[in-house]
Amino acid sequence: MSRMKMEQTFESLGNEGKKAFIAYIMAGDGGLENLKHQMLSLEAAGASVIELGIPFSDPVADGPVIQAAGQRALAEGVTLRGILEELARIKDDISIPVVLMTYANPVLRLGADTFAEMSDEAGVSGVIMPDVPLEESGEFEVPLRRYDITMIRFITLSSSEERIKEVMEGAEGFIYAVTVRGTTGARAGFDASLYDHLESISKMTDVPVCAGFGIGSREQAEAVGSHCDGVIVGSRIVELMHENNIEEIEALIPENADIAINASN
């Protein structure tokens, strides 16, 4: 049911001619007691999907903004187990799909089977693990599949055509297209070749393609989103959520989309 929820979201957006806006926040930044309010605020602002980051001490794919958010959450004593328990408590209040972004270590510490079971109880639709290559994903993907939870796959700017085809084979939910070389964090702009890249890979699959990393403004979200199925915004939203500036978050979301923001930007 969780995976179906995400599929239905993308299908509905496509039928309405809209793009997904996936909004990333760090779970526990500001305390787990504020997570429900933060998620409801994103939903009310127009996010299509929430990408919920799991704090980790060595977040190799994250830039300084998300690293700082993770450190604040860890200082609050936030754990993966605690996040999943809180999500299970509030899941009936959240209408849009929730995707977890976690590194492998917290999942291994909890146990892949336990993680999958608790994610199901928490209503999680998908899981993103940026430090787990496709060839090593089975340890995590097999338990998640038992509960119909999707493991989201990545395509980077350096991925060869052969690699792109490997990633697309069996991909579900959406494909995470990384828009920059390097870690997360807003960028001043993007090279025009990115748009050709996004259009090219979108034509190769029926699975929605959402672009993330580096998108920090409404204008960038509109520009990037026009060449794929959605955008993922992270760092800018994390900054604004930390400042409790919901109005600025609303201003990020393009008018022509229920843009699904997914990725640590």
Known catalytic membership, residue 51: yes
Q: Is residue 81 over pLDDT 70?
A: yes
Q: What is the dihedral of CA 85, 91, 93, 96, to 10 degrees?
A: 140
pLDDT digits (tens, 9 = 90+) for 29-40: 999 999 999 999
250 included as an active-site residue: no
Catalytic residue from among 62, 86, 229, 258: 62
- Per-residue pLDDT at 265 exceeds 80: no
CA 219 to chain CA centroid, nearest Å: 20
Mean pLDDT of the chain: 90
Listed by start position, the domains of the chain span: 2-259
Q: Which among 154, 122, 167, 163 has a CA at the least distance from the CA of 263?
A: 154
- Residue range 2-259 forms a domain whose CATH class is alpha beta
Q: Say which residue, 207 or 262, is predicted with more confidence.
A: 207
Q: Is 176 a residue whose pLDDT tops 50?
A: yes
Q: What pLDDT, on the 0 to 100 scale, is given for residue 179?
A: 86
Determine the Cα–Cα distance for residues 16 and 203; give it in Å rounded to an integer.
Answer: 20
pLDDT for 189: 57
- Catalytic-labelled residue, pool 7, 29, 43, 51: 51
Considering the chain, what percentage of its residues have pLDDT values greater than 70?
91
Whole-angstrom distance, CA of residue 227 vs CA of residue 205: 14
What's the per-residue H, E or C state across the chain?
A: CHHHHHHHHHHHHHHCCCCEEEEEEECCCCCHHHHHHHHHHHHHHCCCEEEEECCCCCCCCCCHHHHHHHHHHHHCCCCHHHHHHHHHHHHHHCCCCEEEECCHHHHHHHCHHHHHHHHHHCCCCEEECCCCCHHHCHHHHHHHHHCCCEEEEEECCCCCHHHHHHHHCCCCCCEEEECCCCCCCCCCCCCCHHHHHHHHHHCCCCCCEEEECCCCCHHHHHHHHCCCCEEEECHHHHHHHHCCCHHHHHHHCCCCCEEECCCCC
1 confidence band (pLDDT: 50, 70, 90): low
Give me the mean pLDDT over the 247-252 stretch: 92
Q: Is 5 exposed, middle or buried (0-12, 13-18, 19+ CB in 10 A)?
A: middle
Q: Assign 253 a pLDDT band (cuts: 50, 70, 90).
A: confident
Q: pLDDT tens for residues 82-128?
A: 999 999 999 999 999 999 999 999 999 999 999 999 999 999 999 99
Per-residue pLDDT tens over the stretch 197-230: 999 999 999 999 999 988 989 999 999 999 999 9
For range 55-79, the mean pLDDT:
92
- Counting every residue, how long is the chain? 265
